[in-house]
Copies of this chain bind each other. A is one copy, B any other.
Amino acid sequence: MSDADLLFKALADPGRRKLMDRLHAHDGQTLSELCQHLDMTRQGVTQHLAVLEAANLVVVQWRGREKLHFLNPVPLQEIYDRWIRKFERPRLKALRDLKRRLEDGGED
């Protein structure tokens, strides 16, 4: 399965996108914490998180018996580069490309 496939399939579920939003509101939450806002069993949430981890959208860190979840924005940038910027209307494209070149100078 390609990277793009893992990414888009991961994002193609409302429950998983909600998890992304929850983590965006408060990064580093445990599984139990994340379960509290989803209308689903813990196992369901676990499986959704596994899909997000496979897509590298979420990375985990263990602290004792707790599993902490953190967002990784890098794959989203790859989607932008491959699937958004490429399909922009030509009128806008030249302008955005210029700014992106500027931006590359400021990358960390």
Number of interface residues of A (CB under 8 A): 34
Which of A29-37, A38-46, A60-68, A76-84 lies at the interface with chain B? A76-84
CA–CA, A91 to B103, complex, Å?
Answer: 11
| B103–A89 touching, CB < 8 Å | no
- Residues of chain B with a CB closer than 8 A to A91's CB: 108
Q: In the complex, how many angstroms separate the beta carbon of A15 from the nearest chain B beta carbon? A: 11
Q: Interface SS of chain A: helix, strand, loop or mixed?
A: helix
A90 to chain B: closest residue by CB: B73
CA–CA, A30 to B102, complex, Å?
Answer: 39
CA–CA, A12 to B12, complex, Å?
Answer: 7
- Residues of chain B with a CB closer than 8 A to A14's CB: 2, 4-5
A23 to chain B: closest residue by CB: B87
- Residues of chain B with a CB closer than 8 A to A11's CB: 8, 12, 83
Q: Which residues of A contact B (CB under 8 A)?
A: 2, 4-5, 8-9, 11-14, 17, 20, 24, 71, 73, 76-77, 79-80, 83-84, 86-89, 91-92, 95-96, 99, 102-103, 106-108
